Amino acid sequence: MSDVTVDWPDYRSTEFRAPKRPLATLPEELHALEGPVFGEDALQPLDNDLTKQHEGEALGERIVVTGRVLDDGGRPLRGALVEVWQANAAGRYRHEVDRHPAPLDPSFSGAGRCLTDDDGRYRFTTVKPGAYPWGNHPNAWRPAHIHFSVFGRMFTQRLVTQMYFPGDPLFEHDPIFNAVRDPKARELLVARFDLETTEPDWALGYQWDIVLRATPFE
Amino acid sequence: MMHTPSQTVGPFFAIGLSRTDQHVLDANGAELHGRLLDGRGEPVPDGVVELYDPVTRAWGRSATDAEGVFRFLVPRDASRLWAYVFARGLLRHQLTAIDLPRDGPFDIHLQGEQETTFYAV
């Protein structure tokens, strides 16, 4: 089982929120149900460059994050809507609930979206998010991550997840990351640094493919 | 190939998932609303519900408010809608069905004696 364990007490917010009953069998008609389609009108010009959405440039280590959205047969999914959100380089979200005493960056909102191209590829330019503390347990810190939301072709291919950065020393201490019990599956949440993707004199490059469940009936 | 595991939307999803008001599946539709509740019956104020009509393929999403309320405008002749539920504390989204027409709200109970039927997906 490569997916996350939903009932996972180490992540305290699961206590009253994780469903406890066995899941019902998915009705047959849902296997063949195509999901919502999003077109270019869902996008605005700078949606995939989070460093340039304001008058000033975002502060932090500039990065490119790119990869392909695939089904689990390895086939690229084109036209998939990919939405991202993240903390700024100091580890602070632009959200009223975030009380972490780290600076907000007036030049960084931390939201982006794009549609995958014919090869199933998405691409964002952003800054590397900072780690930040949270109240889950004493001295709890989230490893740096970017939230990803992906719509596949089929309705059942919906995925919301988080992408992490290689070699983060906080991995072993993070209950959200470790709610994925299979170490091989956890690796699928970690991007790969890639010199080919790195833009000289501009931005470090990371590659991260997203594999959705099967696309039936093809 | 192994598929990429889910992770929670966390408490800050509104940054990335609420650009515009997206609760309208049908501008001339009927209102459908309800509350997202935890295992103690407390409202979940930081959840998001995505609704899909498999017939018209209309889609929408609604973040819950301080009382855990989500609301949509849905096609008047819709018979069964599918809803994905996301929240802080939910490591993976949950799928449920909403049969229509119905009188009154459709509350989603994540846990407890009235736990909603969620489907394996």
Beta bridge partners of A49: A125
Summary mean pLDDT of chain A: 95
What the block records as the tokens of A209 is 């493919």
**With bands split at pLDDT 50, 70 and 90, how would you rate the model's confidence at A39?**
confident
Interface pTM (ipTM) of the complex?
0.96
pLDDT tens string A167-184: 999 999 999 999 999 999
A17, A26, A30 ranked by CB distance to B38: nearest: A17
> b/e for B64-93, b at 16 or more Cβ within 10 A?
beeebbbbbbbbeebeebbbbbbbbbbbbb
- Residue A216: predicted pLDDT: 60
Nearest chain B residue to A11, by CA: B89
Q: What is the pLDDT of residues B72-97, one digit of tens each?
A: 999 999 999 999 999 999 999 999 99
Q: Are strands B30-37 and A204-207 parallel, antiparallel or unpaired?
A: unpaired
Residues in chain B predicted with pLDDT less than 70, given as ranges, are 19-21
Would residue A11 show up in a list of annotated catalytic residues for this protein? Answer: no
pLDDT digits (tens, 9 = 90+) for A65-85: 999 999 989 999 999 999 999
Q: How far apart (Å, rounded) are the C-alpha atoms in residues A43 and B61?
A: 17
Q: Which of A2, A16, A17 to mutate to test the interface with B (most CBs of B within 10 A)?
A: A17
Is the pLDDT confidence value at A104 over 70? yes
The predicted structure's pLDDT at residue A42: 84
pLDDT score for A45 = 86
Cα–Cα dist A126/A51, whole Å = 5
User: Which of B:29-68 have CB within 8 Å of A?
Assistant: 38-40, 42, 44, 46, 50, 52, 54, 57-59
User: What is the DSSP code (8-state) at residue B75?
Assistant: -
Q: Do A4 and B5 touch (CB under 8 A)?
A: yes
Q: Please answer yes or no on whether B6 and A13 come within 8 Å at the CB atom.
A: no
pLDDT at B20: 54
Indicate which residue of A62, A68, A93, A164 is catalytic: A93
pLDDT digits (tens, 9 = 90+) for A119-161: 999 999 999 999 999 999 999 999 999 999 999 999 999 999 9
Residue B21 has a pLDDT of: 59
Per-residue pLDDT at A218: 46
Contact B111 A149 (CB under 8 A): no
Percent of chain A with pLDDT over 90: 91
| B17 three-state secondary structure | helix
